[in-house]
Amino acid sequence: MEMKQLWLVAPGETELRTVPVARPAKGELLVKVEAALTCGTDLKAWRRGHSLIPMPGPFGHEFSGTVVDAGSGVRKFRPGDAVMAVHTAPCGKCAYCKKGLYNLCREIMDTKVLGAFGQYVLLPRHIVKTNTFLKPETLSFEEAAFLEPLSCVVHGVERFEAVKGAAALVFGAGPIGLLHLLILKARGLRVAVCALEASRLALAGKLGADCVFRPGEAKKAMREFAPLGADYVLECTGRKEVWQAAPGYARRGGRIMLFGGLEKGALVSWPSHLIHYDELTLMASFHFCPADVRKARSLLVEGKIDVKPLISGQYMLSGARKAFERLARGRGIKYIIRAGD
């Protein structure tokens, strides 16, 4: 059996390839992709290459689907089951896994599955065992495909212990900034969002932001929103100048979550005086642990947050390039990529 799969061959260059469909071995699942989503990481790779996304190689990592074949020994799932999953799982054996730092597992990035922009994905045993779940009928395939980005955001939010009533400033109103907004509002925080594009700010307002503004208005708006400065500042743009500016918006004792990864080799510097005498905590967040995936799944399944407004449209595999061109111009938040039959 063969299938269509989108490959990223070079920055800005994709190729629709016909590749063999693998048979699931022991513990593995073959899943027909029902919905896949574009992601900020994909956009970075499409624009400039990405150290964690090999090129040329299969593209896309956010998906949900239907089981078509199960390897021997798989008991939790059978053909016909609708499933939601993420594309990684920790090994459970390395020194980091033993410390419970599963997101930092030595193997987690080497054993990930790419190729969600395709007709089928083969889920290896470790992912089937830890990070694959049945999808309830009440949740659409499109919503279920948010499991991966939402897990990343849950991981970060768990790290800085978002306290009810606190004031948070989110830089960026792309998918990650908006998912932060949704989670922080669901937890009862006051949230301000700063972004460049008017359409994204308008969406942030609709999704419940208490205050939205463009970078030029940030200082003034923050004096009203949180006169002392924000309790939490969340960098969700992946831009160096925002990393640099973020600590300047925190109150004394505040926390700065650096979420949007920069290009390898990028250097950032901060005034030591500010960091020390204001006792700021600089934090970073990378990927997620299985516990974060389970929490993200509950948020989706229990309807605690509504991700549907983040879907900006859909394209077939052959038109996926258009989705990335739009995203590169700041148009839309996330696009569904459909493989078809």
**Site residues (vs Zn ion, CB under 5 A):** 39, 62, 90-91, 94, 97, 105, 148-149
Beta carbon of residue 231, minimum distance to Zn ion (angstroms, whole number): 27
Strand partners, 338: 316
CB closer to Zn ion out of 152 and 222: 152
Strand partners, 69: 30
CB closer to Zn ion out of 34 and 62: 62
Beta carbon of residue 152, minimum distance to Zn ion (angstroms, whole number): 7
Beta carbon of residue 172, minimum distance to Zn ion (angstroms, whole number): 15
**Three-state DSSP state, 248:** helix
Beta carbon of residue 270, minimum distance to Zn ion (angstroms, whole number): 28
- Residues 279 and 273: their CA atoms lie apart, in Å, by 9
CB closer to Zn ion out of 151 and 213: 151
Q: Are 147 and 86 in contact (CB under 8 A)?
A: yes
CB closer to Zn ion out of 105 and 222: 105
Widest distance between CA atoms in the chain:
63
Tracing tokens 């009928």 back to the chain, one arrives at 137
Other beta carbons within 10 Å of 26: 9
CB closer to Zn ion out of 97 and 311: 97
CB closer to Zn ion out of 132 and 211: 132
Beta carbon of residue 147, minimum distance to Zn ion (angstroms, whole number): 10
- Residues 103 and 92: their CA atoms lie apart, in Å, by 11
- Residues 6 or more apart from 265 whose CB is under 8 A from it? none
CA–CA–CA angle 328, 331, 332 (5° rounding): 115
- Residues 6 or more apart from 327 whose CB is under 8 A from it? 38, 43, 335
Strand partners, 256: 233, 282
Beta carbon of residue 258, minimum distance to Zn ion (angstroms, whole number): 17
CB closer to Zn ion out of 144 and 167: 144
CB closer to Zn ion out of 212 and 257: 257
- Residues 84 and 121: their CA atoms lie apart, in Å, by 12
CB closer to Zn ion out of 249 and 288: 288
Beta carbon of residue 222, minimum distance to Zn ion (angstroms, whole number): 29
Beta carbon of residue 327, minimum distance to Zn ion (angstroms, whole number): 13
Beta carbon of residue 275, minimum distance to Zn ion (angstroms, whole number): 30
Does the bond joining 149 to the residue before it have cis omega, within 30 degrees of 0? no
Locate 164 and state its tokens.
């009810």
Q: Are 330 and 198 in contact (CB under 8 A)?
A: no
Q: Strand pairing of 311-316 and 230-235?
A: unpaired
Q: Are 31 and 123 in contact (CB under 8 A)?
A: yes
